């Protein structure tokens, strides 16, 4: 099981690649994709597509883990999030990946035991589980690791952490 956790955003998209085997769970890679505001929205959508298509083939990804989006104050941001999620949906079918979705509170609950935990708490717990990981520069990264972990946990939460 190779899970690609994604926290999509129109400027910054965090991602994590998590391997789960009989021996345990391993964070193989995490980071973020930066899409400059100088590019047009279609260009950014295409950049997002190419980047994640490459990650999927590079790591032989089998699952994509995502957070369920909720409409916030800005409906245009919500729509743009739809553009990026549409790309992940397309890639999931093209590469026969399973899509797993978690609500933000499910992710927080799973990582910290508290459904309304702060991003700092989630980031702290991610570092506890993977101490060799350098402190994520952005919450987008720790959020992507968190949602990826939820994907790994959904079938079995008693796992060994390969550090």
In this complex, which beta carbon is closest to a second copy, that of residue 43 or of residue 120? Answer: 43
Q: Nearest distance from residue 41's CB to a second copy, in Å?
A: 6
Which residue in 91, 89, 92, 9 sits closest to 44, CA to CA? 9
Which residue in 75, 66, 142, 84 sits closest to 111, CA to CA? 142
User: Among this protein's residues, is 143 annotated catalytic?
Assistant: no
User: Among this protein's residues, is 98 annotated catalytic?
Assistant: no
Looking at the DSSP bridge assignments, the partners of residue 57 are: none
Rounded Cα gap, residues 19 and 59, in angstroms: 9
> In the window 88-117, what residues touch a second copy (CB under 8 A)?
89-90, 92-94, 99
- Does 78 bind a second copy (CB under 8 A)? Our answer is yes
User: Among this protein's residues, is 156 annotated catalytic?
Assistant: no
Task: List, in order, residues 6 or more apart from 127 with CB less than 8 Å away.
Answer: 133, 135, 136, 142
Binding residue (CB under 8 A) for a second copy from 42, 73, 132, 134: 42
Pattern of binders to a second copy over 51-70, x per CB under 8 A? ------------------x-
- Does 84 bind a second copy (CB under 8 A)? Our answer is yes
Looking at the DSSP bridge assignments, the partners of residue 32 are: 14
In this complex, which beta carbon is closest to a second copy, that of residue 89 or of residue 124? Answer: 89
Q: Are strands 24-34 and 12-21 parallel, antiparallel or unpaired?
A: antiparallel
- Phi and psi of 36, rounded to 5°? -60, 140
DSSP tag of 131: T
User: Which range binds a second copy by CB under 8 A, 15-23, 87-95, 142-150, 153-161?
Assistant: 87-95
- Enzyme catalytic residues: 7, 67, 140
Q: Which residues bind a second copy (CB under 8 A)?
A: 41-43, 45-46, 49, 69, 71, 75, 78-87, 89-90, 92-94, 99
């Amino acid at each position: 099981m190779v899970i690609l956790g994604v926290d999509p955003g129109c400027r910054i998209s965090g991602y994590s690649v998590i391997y789960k085997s009989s021996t345990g769970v391993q964070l193989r890679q995490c980071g973020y994709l930066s899409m400059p505001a100088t590019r047009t929205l279609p260009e950014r959508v295409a950049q997002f597509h190419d980047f994640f298509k490459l990650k999927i083939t590079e790591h032989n990804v089998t699952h994509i883990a995502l957070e369920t989006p909720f409409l916030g104050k800005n409906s245009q941001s919500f729509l743009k999030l739809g553009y990026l999620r549409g790309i992940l949906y397309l890639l999931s079918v093209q590469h026969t990946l399973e899509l797993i979705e978690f609500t933000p509170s499910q992710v927080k609950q799973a990582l910290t035991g508290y459904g309304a935990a702060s991003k700092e708490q989630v980031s702290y717990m991610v570092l506890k589980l993977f101490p060799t990981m350098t402190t994520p520069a952005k919450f987008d990264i720790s959020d992507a690791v968190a949602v990826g972990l939820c994907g790994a946990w959904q079938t079995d939460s008693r796992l060994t952490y390969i550090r």
